[in-house]
Amino acid sequence: MSSVIPFRREFEFEYGRMEQVAPMLRRIVARNPSPFTWHGTGTYVIGEGNVAVVDPGPDLPAHVDALLAALDGETVTHMLVTHTHRDHSPACRPVQAAIGASTYGFGRHGSGRIDVGVQVEEGADNDFVPDVLVAHGDVVSGDGWSVECVHTPGHTSNHLCYQLREHNALFSGDHVMGWSTTIISPPDGDIASYLTSLELLLERDDACYWPTHGPCIRDPKPLVRALIAHRLERADEIRACLAGGVDRIAAMVPRMYSNLPEAMYPAAARSVFATLIYLFERGEVTCEGDLDALARFGLNQ
């Protein structure tokens, strides 16, 4: 790979402790570290007194209890959900049971794909349905704050970012993270949508990003440009594999991800498959039989 992604992996925090990270903004990190969540889910709180919670996180009793304890004496008026993976939305239910706040989101899991006839995978938070549906460009307001909803499909079809308008700061969810690239797993994950959503961010003037995993991204546009270049270079690597006779995903992954631990190969294979779908839909590659992860692919002559 020739592009260098300007990751930022310095991240100071303490599990279960609510910390002030910027004016009007606090964060508490759940203890759910993994290769996909890094140190864990960062749940944000906007405002003081009457507040909004962004991505309540996983349904872990210790995290939910710590969040509720930190907000004792305050009123949660909104819960804003970026998307419906299990490290982001499930805590809405116990928090809502305790305090009754309304949830906001683009829709149920897969809503951006199911609505056009694509059946998405199981395994996400399929029980979450937002109380209030919001769409691209909608503005949600509270006590002394307002957020603009920015639909950014790609990681999931229902992924939303939220811009805190008072500080020109974007809650970027899993769409853009400072510590890693984003997993794109079909059928709900879609490379074409992801690239379009990244280009959308380049048209905006957000001063910084607050991702759900990892530290604040203070200079976001160079990172976004590098992420686009990275995906296009992965597509080039696939073309090179196919030109060299490497026509199955299982054989492509070790060549394309030589520095990746083998335990992460299944996740890498999903991203390779997503890129192959992108190239297939552009007419650049062919597929023998059904378009699935076990198929044999070739370059379209």
Residue 120's pLDDT is what? 53
**Within a domain: residue 283?**
yes
**Would you put residue 137 in left (φ > 0), alpha (ψ -120 to 50) or beta?**
left
Residue 115's pLDDT is what? 57
Residue 118's pLDDT is what? 52
Helix (H) or strand (E) holding 21: strand 19-22
Phi, psi (5° rounding) for residue 53? -110, 130
Q: How far apart are CA 35 and CA 105, in angstroms?
A: 26
Mean pLDDT of 85-103: 97
- The least confident of 1-5, 39-43, 132-136, 137-141 is 1-5
* Tokens found for residue 259: 């520095």
Pairing of strands 146-151, 19-22: unpaired
At residue 215 the predicted structure's pLDDT band, cuts being 50, 70 and 90, is very high
Q: How far apart are CA 193 and CA 165, in angstroms?
A: 25
pLDDT in tens, 158-211: 999 999 999 999 999 999 999 999 999 999 999 999 999 999 999 999 999 999
**Within a domain: residue 261?**
yes
Q: How far apart are CA 256 and CA 169, in angstroms?
A: 35
Which residue matches tokens 């059928």? 187
Which residue in 159, 136, 156, 158 sits closest to 148, CA to CA?
136
**Within a domain: residue 289?**
yes
Task: Classify burial at 299, counting beta carbons within 10 Å of its beta carbon; exposed 0-12, middle 13-18, buried 19 or more.
Answer: middle
Residue 217's pLDDT is what? 98
**Within a domain: residue 291?**
yes
Average pLDDT, the chain: 95
Domains: count for the chain: 1
Does the pLDDT value for residue 122 go beyond 90?
no
Which residue in 23, 40, 22 sits closest to 32, CA to CA?
40
Give percent of the chain with pLDDT exceeding 70: 95
Does the pLDDT value for residue 95 go beyond 70?
yes
Residue 187's pLDDT is what? 92
**Within a domain: residue 131?**
no
**Within a domain: residue 251?**
yes
Interhelix angle 191-202/265-281, nearest 10 degrees: 80
Q: Which domain holds residue 277?
A: 234-299
Mean pLDDT of 39-61: 98
Interhelix angle 249-256/265-281, nearest 10 degrees: 110
Contact 22, 216 (CB under 8 A): yes
pLDDT in tens, 15-36: 999 999 999 999 999 999 999 9
pLDDT in tens, 56-66: 999 999 999 99
**Within a domain: residue 129?**
no
Q: How far apart are CA 43 and CA 63, in angstroms?
A: 10
**Within a domain: residue 86?**
no
In sequence order, the 6+-apart residues with CB closer than 8 A to the CB of 73 are none
Beta sheet of 25-29, edge-to-edge order: 19-22, 25-29, 42-46, 50-54, 75-80, 102-105, 132-133
Contact 119, 187 (CB under 8 A): yes
Q: 186: cis peptide before it, omega within 30°? A: no
Mean pLDDT of 146-156: 98
Residue 185's pLDDT is what? 93
One-letter amino acid of 165: R
pLDDT in tens, 224-234: 999 999 999 99
Give percent of the chain with pLDDT exceeding 90: 93
User: Helix, strand or coil for residue 162?
Assistant: strand
* Tokens found for residue 75: 């009123």
Phi, psi (5° rounding) for residue 133? -80, 135
Residue 111's pLDDT is what? 81
